[in-house]
Structure 1
Amino acid sequence: MRARSALFDLYGDHVARRGGWAPVGGLVRALEALDIAGPATRTAVSRMVREGWLTPSVHEGARGYAQTARATRQLADARRRIYDEAEPAWSGAWDVVVLEPPEGRAARERVAGGLRYLGYAPLAGSTWVGARRHPDLAARLEREDVDWRGFASRFDGDDHALATDLWDLPALARGYLQFDDELTTDHEPSAEAWIAKEGPAAAFARRARLVHRWRLFLFDDPGLPAQVLPQDWPRPAVAARFRDLATRLAPAADTYVDACLRS
């Protein structure tokens, strides 16, 4: 796991629930459990400041970094998607977004990647489709200085067939099943005994890697409603197993993070 990704996970899974600010030394100590050296952590923090995710802040005389409003929104959305807070009911209408493509290949790829993360797929040319309007869509496109128009529309055809055309659902299902196979070896009933033996730092590292692996699905899974998914869709069962293990590891992981941020 790279330092920048580990920092996103640390803020999203722990720091955000503690006010969104952490001392730089605490960040360094926390990521040492993931075998990430201090210089790599400090470099990643600086990069996240330049990108607008973190801002330097002094709290009670301690130098640290607070998450920005942009980071707070995205981390909250990621947390909801990771821990399966209920999606709003689907109206049956798709959200259609028509862009004025930005100039430059790098900008176009950045916009496309952002749209995919928000759950959209290209329908044709500069037209993208998602199951529902993502609340961060307008802000994300504004940051990229992209002109766009959007509207809700019902598909004159089979919604399941449209979803299958726009997203590679078989590949996504295989990814969930592979994760489930990997999870099996970590889901032993003696997880609490393992925690008691290995300690809080090991529990934090194990949980961080587990959550990071699951978080990668956010870039591929558009969060489609059940009405358009295959009947044997594996995500709900795999998500339940993921949440169970993450919950069992959480108290010891929190103990480790608290100690790092206090010292």
Structure 2
Amino acid sequence: MHARAAVFDLYGDHLARRGGWAPIASVVRLLGAVDVRPEAVRTAVSRLSREGWLEAHEHDGTRGYAMTPRAERRLSAAWERIYRSSAPGWDGRWHLVVLAERIADRSHRARVADSLTYLGYARMSADTWIAPRPSPELDSAVGEVPVHAFSAELDGDGRALAAELWDLAELTRAYDGFVRWAGTLVPDVDGLDERTAYARRTELVHEWRKFLFRDPGLPDAVLPADWAGDRAAACFDRLSSALLPRASAYVDACLDQQGVS
């Protein structure tokens, strides 16, 4: 598990609901449970701080890091998608974004493309992207690149468009693979101690979060019947809920610096 992603997962899944701050020693200990080395954790936290995601704070003489408002917005939006806490409706209209200027720098162009993909947009042509709904994070995704954005109804078959722009067959295979993998990861929740439950839940959330970069959250109206994503979501919900009590107990113990091994 990459240290940077592991830090994001920890703050998003556990620390956000506990005030968004934690001692660096507790962060190191918690990520050690998923085999992330202490030096890698400290390097990742330092970089995230320089990038404006975390900021150093001391509480009662204890050094730690808190989420910045930028991180709070990003992680809140991500975890709404992960747990589908506010499932968006669909009015039948698509959101189109046209980059008004060609991005000359290749790395900058790739960063914008990655950001748009994460927000659920698919590339229709070199500078035109489409999603089933507008994203409130669009401005941060494109930065200073000027865009023309508008909503439109499709004069045609929405299912055909979705299948053309997103590889739904590959996404189906990925979801089915997730269900098989999750079943081997957590065959018996009742037999797990708190540390192991925390580690398994962290792995589960980490793998599930990857679908944010692949699944745009298409509406049912344009998805295949018996969509594999629904089965995978039910599997994730069941296992993550079952693991949460013991995982949370381990997090609380580490934050309190109690003697949990």
What is the TM-score of this pair, normalised by structure 2? Answer: 0.95
Match of 2:172 in 1: 173
Distance 2:137 2:20 in 1: 19
Q: Deviations over 1:161-210 (max 9, x none)?
A: 1111111110001100111111222454x421x12xxx211111111001
Q: Deviations over 1:5-29 (max 9, x none)?
A: 1101000000111111111111011
Identity of aligned residues (%): 50
Letter in 1 for 2:196: A
Q: Deviations over 1:85-131 (max 9, x none)?
A: 24221010000001123230000000000000000011112010000
2:21 and 2:65 in contact (8 A); partners too: yes
Letter in 2 for 1:50: R
Letter in 1 for 2:177: Q
Match of 2:15 in 1: 15
Matches within 5 A, 1:179-194: 179-188=178-187, 190-192=188-190, 194=191
Q: Deviations over 1:135-160 (max 9, x none)?
A: 11123323xx2111200001111111
Counterpart check, 1:97 vs 2:97: yes
**How far is the alpha carbon of 1:37 from its aligned partner?**
1.8
Counterpart check, 1:204 vs 2:198: yes
Distance 1:81 1:49 in 2: 24
SS of 1:98's partner is strand
2:185 and 2:200 in contact (8 A); partners too: no
Match of 1:226 in 2: 220
Match of 1:28 in 2: 28
- Segments of 5+ residues of structure 2 without an aligned counterpart are none
Q: Which moved more, 1:109-118 or 1:68-77?
A: 68-77
| Moved beyond 4 Å, runs of 4+ | none
SS of 1:185's partner is helix
What is the TM-score of this pair, normalised by structure 1? Answer: 0.94
Q: Which moved more, 1:108-117 or 1:201-210?
A: 201-210
**How far is the alpha carbon of 1:236 from its aligned partner?**
1.0
Matches within 5 A, 1:35-114: 35-99=35-99, 100-114=101-115
1:214 corresponds, among 187, 204, 208, to 208
After superposition, the CA RMSD in angstroms is: 1.2
